[in-house]
Amino acid sequence: MASVRVMTRTLKHLHRRELGFLGLIGLTGLLIALQLASGLEGLGMPEGGWRTIDRAALERRIESGDLRDLEAEWFRPSIGGEGTGRGPGPGNRP
Amino acid sequence: MSAVTCELCPRGCTIPEGAAGDCRVRVNLGGKLRATTYGRPSAIHIDPMEKKPLYHFHPGSPVFSIATAGCNLHCLNCQNWQLSQRGGEEMEEIYRLDPPDLVRAAQGEGCRSIAYTYSDPIVFYEYVYDSSELAHREGLANVFITAAYINQKPLRRLCRVLDAANADLKAFDDGFYRRVNAATLQPVLDALVTLKEEGVWLEVTNLVIPTLNDDLALIRRMARWIRDALGADTPLHFSRFQPQYRLRNLPPTPGETLDRARREALDAGLRYVYVGNVLGHEGNSTYCPSDGTLLIRRVGFLIAENRLTADGRCPTCNQVIPGVWQ
């Protein structure tokens, strides 16, 4: 009986003093779960995106001849863009 | 600066200036898409044709095989991820091998074919096309080893210069494609039909991964689709999975699973069903579908015995065996 009283008192104490902290932990857990879920969703999504690259490294290697800056085929300016890509279709490559 | 939309593969990446597509090697510089790995392979090997695998196309011949960095798929089980999941600027080894140099190198090594392989050659499309055109002029054949995640227009144009293709059909399940390959099934099926329609010699590979795509009902559906859409003479290769990259937690495919898959495909009506990556397996050899005669006995990638007639027939019943044998 005494132990039940101690437990109840502890819970009330927790309720008063630590509720905010527990809430914060819960919220953090929720945010982590949402983040993981969005990451997994991305993993399964085939839709196209793009990737940031080390542009300086790319340009260095193009300059040295390790890589090329040859115009590709099969592209077009994105809607609303200002590009002048010819795609889709064969490019004016050598 | 303007963004561009790549129309090469079904991803349709919209790429801002200074960034790359999902494949890492098609880059928007100055509002135009650039093929940064054109003529710059990072892998060059001479392989037997059987390694592609192509079992009905110039058997036993060496094939000059190249790949550049990058890929438009991101398979969790990729066996070439150091090559496929990197951009050109991240590669230590880059060879300068423009199309004329490539064709000369292949000829110099005594190869009658060039294979565009290892990563997915779709991402170095322009290099494949120009090299293939030149190779044809020099009497060489072109083989395309691909996951076939490509749009119809570029594929149809490419087919003009291709002689053979081995296309991965990773699973007959769109969910699998989304989870394991970051792709979708339907464009792959469409591409396989197009390769067939355009007269490219086509063989199909299915890597059987335990627990992910080894369900026999799934395999049966896939085999029936191949029979109906591509024809019963289309060779199908069931390949054994080895744990690697991000699927190291799964075991290698048990031999019995491959046996059952092969039996299922044969029962569905496919005439040439193979088992790969299992040394000495009877399913590695070619048999006459009419009388069961052993036609080509393979040990690993080696041809131990070839009993086909010069014009590609069974020596005992004269059945024509489809393929490009000469």
Span A30-44, pLDDT tens digits: 998 887 776 555 455
Q: How far apart are CA B25 and CA B125, in angstroms?
A: 11
Yes or no, beta carbons of A87 and B33 under 8 Å apart: yes
Residues of B whose CB is below 8 A from A70: 34-36, 38, 126
The two structure tokens encoding residue B56: 């009905």
Q: Which two tokens stand for residue B277?
A: 């990556």
What is the mean pLDDT of the segment spanning B61-72? 98
* A-to-B residue pairs, Cβ atoms closer than 8 angstroms: 170
Instruction: Give the DSSP H/E element, type plus range, for residue B276.
Output: strand B273-276
Of A19-23, B78-82, B273-277, which gets the smallest average pLDDT? A19-23
* Spatial separation of the C-alpha atoms in residues A33 and B106, rounded to whole Å: 53
Residue among B28, B40, B184 whose CB faces A46 most closely? B184
Judge: A48–B22 Cβ closer than 8 Å, yes or no.
yes
Question: Does A20 contact B at CB distance below 8 Å?
Answer: no
Contacts of A68 in chain B (CB under 8 A): 34-40
On whether any CB of chain B is under 8 Å from the CB of A76, the answer is yes
Ranked by mean pLDDT, the top range of A17-26, A27-36, B202-211 is B202-211
Does a cis peptide bond (omega within 30 degrees of 0) precede residue B252?
A: no
pLDDT at A94 > cutoff 60: no
Q: How many angstroms separate the most distant Cα atoms in chain A? A: 91
Looking at chain B, the whole-number percentage of residues with pLDDT higher than 90 is 99
Of B10, B19, B153, the CB nearest to A88: B153
Strand, helix or coil at B43? strand
Contact (CB<8Å) B3/A47: no
Q: Is B71 a residue whose pLDDT tops 60?
A: yes
- The residues near B85 (Cβ < 8 Å, ≥ 6 apart) are B24, B71, B74, B78
Q: What pLDDT is recorded for position B167?
A: 98
- Closest approach of B10 to chain A, Cα-based (Å): 8
- Give the pLDDT score at A85: 37
**pLDDT value of position A18:** 76
> What mean pLDDT do residues B209-218 have?
98
Q: What is the pLDDT of residue A90?
A: 34
**CB-side exposure of B61: number of CA atoms within 13 Å?**
24
Q: What is the pLDDT of residue A5?
A: 82
Is B89–A54 a contact, with Cβ atoms under 8 angstroms apart? yes
Q: What is the pLDDT at residue A91? A: 34
Residues of chain A contacting B89 with CB distance shorter than 8 Å? 53-54, 57-58, 60-61, 67
Residues in A closer than 8 angstroms to B35, CB to CB, are 68, 70-73
pLDDT at B42 over 60: yes
Higher-confidence position of A91 and B320:
B320
Q: What percentage of chain B reaches a pLDDT higher than 70?
A: 100
Cross-chain Cβ contact A78/B2 below 8 Å: yes
Nearest residue of B to residue A50, measured between CA atoms: B21
Residues of chain A positioned with their CB less than 8 A from the CB of B188: none
Q: Please indicate if any CB of chain B lies within 8 Å of the CB of A17.
A: no
Q: Report yes or no: B326 and B204 within 8 Å, Cβ to Cβ.
A: no
| DSSP-derived secondary structure for chain A | -HHHHHHHHHHHHHHHHHHHHHHHHHHHHHHHHHHHHHHHHHHT--S--EEE--HHHHHHHHHHTSS--EEPSSEEEPTT-------SS-----
On whether any CB of chain B is under 8 Å from the CB of A65, the answer is yes
Q: Which residues of B129-154 are buried (b: 16+ CB within 10 A; e: fewer)?
A: bbbbebbbeeebbbbbbbbbbbbeeb
Tell me the C-alpha distance between B86 and B83, whole Å: 6
Mean pLDDT across chain B: 97
Q: Which of B282, B278, B283 is nearest to B240 (CA)?
A: B278
Alpha-carbon distance of B8 to B152, in angstroms, equals 9
Please judge whether B7 and A74 are an interchain contact, meaning their C-beta atoms are less than 8 angstroms apart: yes
For residue B109, pLDDT beyond 70:
yes
First to last CA, chain B: 52
pLDDT at A2: 74
Mean pLDDT across the stretch B112-121? 97
Mean pLDDT for the stretch of residues B170-181: 97
Mean predicted confidence (pLDDT) in B214-238: 98
Question: Measured between CB atoms, does A40 come within 8 Å of chain B?
Answer: no
Sheet holding B294-299, edge to edge: B286-287, B294-299, B302-306
Sort out which chain B residues have CB atoms less than 8 A from A52's CB and list them: 19-20
Q: Which residue of A has its CA nearest to B99?
A: A94
| Residue B50, both tokens | 């059987």
Contact (CB, 8 A) for B110 and B75: no
For A72, which of B35, B96, B183 is closest by C-beta distance? Answer: B35
The residue among B14, B86, B130, B9 whose CA lies nearest residue A67 is B86
- Binary contact (A51, B20; C-beta < 8 A): yes
- Our CA-based measurement puts residue B180 at a distance from the nearest CA of chain A, in whole angstroms, of 8
